[in-house]
Chain A
Amino acid sequence: MSWLAPALWLARKDLRLEMKTRDVVASVGLFVLLVVVTASFAFPTGGAGREGVAAGVLWMSFLFAALLGMGRSMAIEKEDACLEGLLVSPAPREAVFLGKLLTNLGFTFAVEVVILPVFIALLQLRPGGGLWLLVLSAFLGTLGLVTVGTLFAAMAVNTRGREAILPLLVMPVSVPIMVAAVKVSQAGFAGGMGEGTLPWLLLMVGYDALFLLVALATFHHVTEE
C-alpha cells in the first residue's frame, strides 16, 4: 500500500487538466498580481521599515492565492462526482489527500515564485543574498497553508457554504504560520538571516509537520460517506 505512487498520479491528473484549461494558474496568478498592485496603493510601501510592510503585503496576497487555488481545486473534484470516484478507487485516502496537497502546493508555489521577482521590482526592494530565504519561507509557509487548507477544503465543499466558508476555517488556524512566514520574509527582504530568524523557521517546520500528521490521520474521517 504505497501512498506515493497514487498521490503522484492524482497530482499528474491535475497537472494535465491544468495544462489544458489553465484555469487555476491564470486566475490565481492574475489575482495575486491584482492584490499586490492594490496593496501597493493601499499601504506605505516606501521609506524606512518597508521590508516589514512588504512582507505583510506579500503574505496577504499569498494567503488569498492559496485560498482561491485550494477552493477551486477541490470544487473541480466535486464536478461530475470526481471525488466519489477517487474515494472508491483502490488508492488509500492518505494518497488522495497527498495528491491534492501536492497539486495545491505545486500550483500555489509556482505562482508565488513567478510573482516574487515582480513584487521585488514593484516595491523597489533589494533582498540581495536574502533571496533564498524568501523562496524557503514561501515554500514552508505555503506548505503549512495548503496542509490545513486541503483538509478543510474537503470539508468545505461538502457544506452548504461550499468554498465560501474555506477562508473562515483556514484563517484563524493559520495565524502562527502567517506570523512566522512574515517574519522570515522580512528578514529575507532585509538581506538574509537576522537575529531570531532561525526560531521562526523552526516554528514553520514544526507547524507543517504537526498538521501534516493530523491531516493524514483525520482525512479519511472528512471524506467518509
Chain B
Amino acid sequence: MSDVKAPTLDGSTRPRPVEPAVAEPAERTRRLWGLLALVTIPVLLAMAFWYAPEDANQGAAQRIFYIHVPSAWIGFLAFAVVFVASIAFLATGARRWDDLAASSAEVGVVFTSAVLITGPLWGRPVWGVYWTWDPRLTSFLMLWLIYLSYLVLRGYVPEPIRRARFSAVLGIVGFLDVPIVYLSARWWRSEHPTQFVVEGGRLPDQMLVTMLVGVVAFTFLYLYLLSVRRRVARLRAAAELEEVVR
C-alpha cells in the first residue's frame, strides 16, 4: 500500500531525521486518549463478565454484545468522520483533511471487521446461523465493502493530491449510499417472513450501563488509534515531500 520507500538499514544513502519538522502539539492529547482507553477497556471487560447479569435466553453468548455494539458505533462514527473530512478536503484542499479521512477510514474498517466477526459468533448459538440478511447486517457488510474499496483505491493512486481528491469523492458517495442500502435491505427482507432478529425490549440497567461504558471506552480507543494513524500520515507526507525535493 505504501508508496514511501523504507530507509536503508545503514542509513548511509538517505540520511534523514526520523522525526519530521512538523511540530507535535497533538502528542500530549494522544497520550491522554491512549491512557483513557487503557484504563476503560479493562473496566469494560470486568463489567461485561462480572457486573452485567447473564441473559436468561441467550446465556453467556450475549456478553459479546459489549464488544459488538460499541464496535458498530465506532465503525459508523469513523465513516461519518470520513464523509465530513472528505467534504472539507474538497472545499479547502488542505492535506490534513485527507489525512484525517484516510486515518478514520482505516480505523473504521478495523472496527467494522470486529462487528462482522463478533456478530456471527453471537448469531450461531442464538439464531442457529452465522449469518442472516437482516437490514443491519447487510448494511454493515456493505459499509465494510465500500470502505475496503476506498482503501484499495488509495493504494492504487501514487500521486498524493490526486489520491486525496479521488478518495474524497468515494468517501462522499460511499457514505450517502449507506441509508439507501439500509432502506433497500429493509424492503428486500420484509418480503420474507423469516425476520428473526430479537427486538430490544427493555434492557436491565446493568446491561445498559455496561454497554454505555463500552461505547465510551471504544470512543477513547478510536480517538487514540486515529491520532496514531494521523501521525503516520503526517510522517508519510513529510517523507513524500522530501522525495519531491530530492
The answer to whether A and B interact is: yes
B-binding residues in A (CB < 8 A) = 148, 151-152, 155, 158-161, 165, 168-169, 172-173, 175-176, 179-180, 183, 196, 199-200, 203, 206-207, 210-211, 214, 218, 221-222, 224
The verdict on A159 contacting B157 (CB below 8 Å), with A148-B173, A175-B142, A224-B165 known, is: yes
Interface of B is mostly: helix
Whether B181 and A176, one on each chain, are in contact in the complex, defined by CB atoms closer than 8 angstroms, is yes
Whether A169 and B153, one on each chain, are in contact in the complex, defined by CB atoms closer than 8 angstroms, is yes
Whether A173 and B174, one on each chain, are in contact in the complex, defined by CB atoms closer than 8 angstroms, is yes
**Least CB distance, A95 to chain B, in whole angstroms:** 19
A160 and B180 CA atoms in complex are apart in Å by 30
- What 5 A-B pairs are tightest by C-beta distance, nearest first? A159-B156, A176-B184, A172-B145, A176-B180, A172-B146
A-B contact pairs, 25 of them (CB 8 A): A151-B169, A151-B173, A155-B169, A159-B153, A159-B156, A165-B153, A169-B153, A172-B148, A172-B174, A173-B174, A173-B177, A175-B142, A175-B181, A175-B184, A176-B184, A179-B188, A196-B187, A199-B187, A200-B187, A203-B183, A203-B187, A214-B176, A218-B169, A218-B173, A221-B168
Interface bits B157-197 vs A (CB < 8 Å: 1, else 0): 11000100110111011101100110111011001000000
A196 contact set on B, CB distance < 8 A = 187, 191
Q: Does B35 contact A (CB under 8 A)?
A: no
B181 contact set on A, CB distance < 8 A = 175-176
Whether B180 and A203, one on each chain, are in contact in the complex, defined by CB atoms closer than 8 angstroms, is yes
Whether A203 and B169, one on each chain, are in contact in the complex, defined by CB atoms closer than 8 angstroms, is no
A161 and B157 CA atoms in complex are apart in Å by 8
**Least CB distance, B177 to chain A, in whole angstroms:** 5
B152 contact set on A, CB distance < 8 A = 165, 168
The verdict on A169 contacting B142 (CB below 8 Å), with A155-B153, A176-B180 known, is: no
Whether A206 and B180, one on each chain, are in contact in the complex, defined by CB atoms closer than 8 angstroms, is yes
Whether A222 and B165, one on each chain, are in contact in the complex, defined by CB atoms closer than 8 angstroms, is yes
Most chain-A CB neighbours within 10 Å: which of B152, B173, B185, B188?
B173
Q: Does B110 contact A (CB under 8 A)?
A: no
A160 and B157 CA atoms in complex are apart in Å by 6
A175 and B182 CA atoms in complex are apart in Å by 10
